[in-house]
Copies of this chain bind each other. A is one copy, B any other.
Amino acid sequence: MAIYNKQNFPVEKVRKYLEPGPVVLVTSQWENQTDIMTLGWHTILEFSPSLLGCMIASMNVSHELIRNSGECVINIPGVDLIDQVVAIGNSHGDETDKFVVNQLTAQPGDVVKAPLIGECFASFECRLHDGALVDNYNFFIFEVVKAHVDPQQERPATLHYTGEGIFRVMGEQILDQHQKFKPEMLI
């Protein structure tokens, strides 16, 4: 597995990578505990501030770490990380060091204490923006405060979960429709 050469990316443009709906790996840290979880339930909520919403079930150790720290990193794996995505999704947070067991590289963030995953092509450092729906729906609203993307990964093959252990893989086909868009819609 490659470690990507990520560079600074505009936080208001993270929808390019998240709106298509890939499975992500969420990293979190609180005191001496670090966790990684697999997540498919997320949505963009706003461009600027760069807001996204994530449903993180309370049975996950990550839920508690994120509640306590108010921070996490959303990392996007390519298809080459399918084994890690499945293994992490089927493990529990306090069993092992998931970085070691899954041969993943923890990299320091610029803003938050939770680590980035070196083997993911994109990592978005997040701070909790609004926790009003956490109690009722486990729904966290985050602000992306720093984004890192490998600029060579324009449209990587990402994993998209359909349930029952089955993932779809994003295809290479692009439909460029920008000429049919009103200028003000081209954001």
Contacts and interface: CB of A to CB of B under 8 A. Distances in A.
A44 to B, nearest CB: 5
Contacts of A187: 163-164
A39 to B, nearest CB: 10
A176 interface: yes
B160 A178 contact: no
3 nearest A-B pairs in the assembled complex, by CB-CB distance = A21-B21, A165-B178, A171-B171
A51 interface: yes
Contacts of A42: 43
A20 B161 contact: yes
22 contacts: A15-B163, A16-B163, A19-B21, A20-B160, A20-B161, A20-B162, A20-B168, A21-B21, A21-B160, A45-B55, A53-B53, A53-B139, A82-B177, A86-B180, A87-B180, A89-B181, A90-B181, A90-B182, A165-B178, A168-B173, A171-B171, A171-B173
B177 A173 contact: no
Interface residues of A, number: 61
Contact of A169 (B41, B43, B175, B180): B175
A97 interface: no
